[in-house]
Copies of this chain bind each other. A is one copy, B any other.
Amino acid sequence: MGNNVVITIGREFGSGGREIGKKVADRLGIKFYDKELLQEAAKESGFCREIFENQDEKPTNSFLYSLVMDTYSINGYSSAPFLDMPLNHKVFLAQFETIKKIAEKESCVIVGRCADYALAENPNCINVFIHADKEFRTKRVAAELQVNESKAKDAIQKKDKQRASYYNYYTSKKWGDSRSYHLTLDSSALGIDKCVEMILQYRALYLMK
């Protein structure tokens, strides 16, 4: 496994967790995985990219959709051992394996995707969660999606519910509970760039041992 350090970042929607992760990766000169990770998983497992993107961090909620997708995957997009599992599970397992392979290969930052759980057995992991108050997130989401604050609030509620549901379904831990992570930070209290500093400081202290 070598001395790779993998930083995983869970985050509330609009908290800036993705931006923080990207900046940490840039500062350290290491790779950053988000959608890119999904694409790599898609390549390795033989799924087409489109299915992955639709399934990204959505909990299992449609039996019919799974059936259709299973039929679809039987027609040449899936591999045999996955045939009797709902599609979400296949996507999850493929991501899970990809995350593990990446962590063996290199230091990196991975955002979302239950990466902390996929790497539970990896001792060189720093699991971070970023959250922020509603006002901070509403403003960020409204600006990013170019919608009004009411629509931004709806998006936040929906996205967080999806993420919590995905995390709680696939892991044995609880999304957002401090005890699921090594370090959690409120980006609305400290600001994006100082959260980056805190994560770098944690990593430096961690490597000192």
A residues apposed to B, CB below 8 Å: 12, 129, 131, 176-179, 181-186, 189-191, 194, 197-198, 201-202, 205-206, 208-209
Contacts and interface: CB of A to CB of B under 8 A. Distances in A.
B181 A186 contact: yes
A187 B177 CA distance: 15
A179 B130 CA distance: 9
A9 to B, nearest CB: 13
Given A176-B178, A181-B184, A182-B189, 8 more contacts: A12-B179, A177-B178, A178-B178, A182-B185, A182-B186, A183-B198, A191-B209, A198-B202
Contacts of A129: 178
Contacts of A182: 185-186, 189-190
Nearest to A194: B205
Nearest to A189: B182
B205 A198 contact: yes
Nearest to A205: B194
A198 B177 CA distance: 19
B179 A179 contact: no
A139 to B, nearest CB: 18
Contacts of A202: 190, 198
A181 B187 CA distance: 11
Contacts of A209: 191
A206 B186 CA distance: 12
Contacts of A191: 209
A209 to B, nearest CB: 7
17 contacts: A129-B178, A131-B178, A131-B179, A176-B177, A178-B181, A179-B186, A181-B186, A182-B185, A182-B186, A183-B198, A194-B205, A194-B206, A194-B208, A197-B205, A198-B198, A198-B202, A198-B205
B181 A183 contact: no
A108 to B, nearest CB: 19
A130 to B, nearest CB: 9
Contacts of A12: 179
